[in-house]
A = this chain, B = another copy of it.
């Protein structure tokens, strides 16, 4: 079966679903599944369908463009395993979880490379025969370091960049380059505990729940569109180290769930939010 993902994002108008289904029907294509959402506050229409049949790509998108509002962003992609690059620093739980999932065919992506500013994780990545690149940041300005990272990255094609506990702030140039393509895991239920050591902040505040947030990266630190969140309960018996340890399970599961959604083209970015089908 040839399955395609059709995503449309445009200003809302009357009859959009009719227009889309009319084009698909007349192209002899079948809608296996469709989801639709209208953000009435901003008058935006979001549509995603799994379409089966014989598709001449350019043709279908052109035909849809004729009947859709002018601003419509239409993408049609064949269902396929995406390529991702992972950046990490020292912690292994999120990275390791993704390595294991790929190894067990439980991740709908190929990890083409891992880049880190330390070499701590090299041994682990080597076990899974995936290229590991240590790009040390010491003694370098942010821009210099990122240029070196880019030199590594240019050897790989990737659909998404995954920050699996990459603990350095990225320049706006770097962020812009991966606009809408870079997913980060933050170790708190945002917007609580933005910034450094959220577990210590949580401990000091005396919260009874801690959590994690996976989000797209934008220029505003920890402020990008949220994809997935989860929490667990803690008690007064938890030191911040205990919270950190307990939080690792949440972090890795939240990141992995978010990637599942992103890799299946189920996520739209709508200003600073996500629409997820």
Query: Which A residues contact B (CB, under 8 angstroms)?
Result: 14-15, 17-18, 21-22, 24-25, 30-39, 41, 91-93, 96-97, 100-101, 103-104, 106, 124, 127-128, 189-193, 205-209, 211, 225-231, 233, 235-237, 239, 245, 248-249, 253, 256-257, 270, 272-276
In the bound complex, residues from chain B placing their C-beta under 8 Å from that of A256 are 249
A252 CA / B253 CA spacing, docked (Å): 10
Contact A207 B229 (CB under 8 A): yes
Contact A209 B189 (CB under 8 A): yes
Contact B36 A25 (CB under 8 A): no
> Dominant SS at the A interface?
mixed
The copy count of this chain in the complex is: 4
Which of B37, B191, B233 is close to A237, meaning CB atoms less than 8 Å apart?
Answer: B37
Contact B92 A37 (CB under 8 A): no
In the bound complex, residues from chain B placing their C-beta under 8 Å from that of A39 are 236
With a 10 A CB-CB cut-off, give which of A18, A225, A276 has the most chain B CB atoms. A18
A230 CA / B37 CA spacing, docked (Å): 27
A246 CA / B275 CA spacing, docked (Å): 19
28 pairs of residues in contact across A and B, judged by CB atoms under 8 Å: A14-B30, A17-B17, A17-B31, A18-B31, A21-B21, A34-B36, A35-B35, A37-B237, A41-B239, A93-B104, A93-B106, A97-B97, A97-B100, A100-B100, A106-B245, A106-B248, A189-B189, A190-B207, A191-B193, A191-B207, A205-B226, A205-B272, A206-B225, A207-B226, A208-B226, A209-B211, A209-B229, A211-B231
Q: Given contacts A100-B93, A191-B205, are A18 and B25 in contact (CB under 8 A)?
A: yes
A33 CA / B270 CA spacing, docked (Å): 18
Q: Given contacts A100-B100, A209-B229, are A236 and B273 in contact (CB under 8 A)?
A: yes
In the bound complex, residues from chain B placing their C-beta under 8 Å from that of A231 are 189, 209, 211, 231
With a 10 A CB-CB cut-off, give which of A92, A206, A207, A253 has the most chain B CB atoms. A206
Contact B192 A206 (CB under 8 A): no
- Taking A35-B36, A189-B189, A207-B226 as known contacts, 17 extra A-B pairs with beta carbons closer than 8 A to each other, sorted by chain A number, are A17-B31, A17-B34, A22-B22, A35-B35, A37-B236, A39-B236, A92-B100, A93-B101, A96-B103, A97-B100, A189-B207, A190-B205, A206-B272, A208-B226, A208-B227, A209-B229, A231-B231
